[in-house]
Structure 1
Amino acid sequence: MHTRTGNSKTLLYLTALLAALHCTSQPPISLPLSLYLSRAHSARAELRGSRAAPTMAPAAPTRAEPEKALMRKNEELERELRESRAREERARDELRRTAERLRVAEEAEERLCSQLGELEAEAVVQAREDRARMVLLMEQLSQAHRLLQAASISLPAAAAKDQACA
């Protein structure tokens, strides 16, 4: 009936079929041949009874669910990372704008301090000139008083005389 080569081919076919039924990429090599054969016979009987393609074992969805959960978690973490990077970039932009405003304010402060210093220097010069002018006017007034006293002219008497003439 079947030769040894035919049995080997059948065994390989059944092993591959079992691997597909159990959703493994390779059949477990450590199982004894009798176990392979018993599984193969039950799988063959199952196929004959249903005449349908083998269905995936329930282990596949449960194995895929953790992978899907990991994929969702990974996507969520990637989204959070993108959002975090966007927030960080916005914060850096705000920091740059704030630093630029600070630089402009410091330059304006330096200009104002410089202008204030110049104005103070001008005010000191003006105050000295005004003081010198007042000292000069006081000296002139003092000299005029001395001349009047030397001429023996009394201001109140001269004022009374001027009123009498009028």
Structure 2
Amino acid sequence: MHILLVEDDQKLADYVQQGLLGAGHTVDHIANGSIALAACVTESYDVGIIDRMIPGIDGLSLVKAIRAANQALPVLFLTSLGGVDDRVDGLQAGGDDYLTKPFAFPELLARVAALGRRPPIQGEELILTYADIVMNIAERKVTRAGQTLDLLPKEY
């Protein structure tokens, strides 16, 4: 599976990434929520593993933006926020699963595998919005403040 890992703790990210690579997955590690949101536009991921406390936009806002764009990316929150309210907030924001730190790596692998087995949900037209920037995934068009931006394929 192609996995998006959004984690700002480099040591933990390296540990998770190496374990996932060892299990045969490909992993894109991003330490910033805003950059991760942009990556969701240009890349196709099978599963997202997202920390809640990250720079840029926080994990909850990131998942809400992904869901607002009708993206069906299965999301596992991996975070140190383990209270009942925290878990409920994560699931209500659009998370599919929630695992607190510290965690056992075999459990993380099992949860990722379970998310990967779920059938994909057919979404409507994919549109991502952040501030005054609107990205229409289906049409590969980007506007800022209502003005169309002419982007090269690599820039998109």
TM-score norm. by structure 1 comes to 0.20
Task: Indicate the structure with greater strand content.
Answer: 2
Larger relative contact order (Cα-Cα within 8 Å, sequence gap ≥ 6): 2
Bigger Rg over Cα: 1
| Bigger share in helix | 1
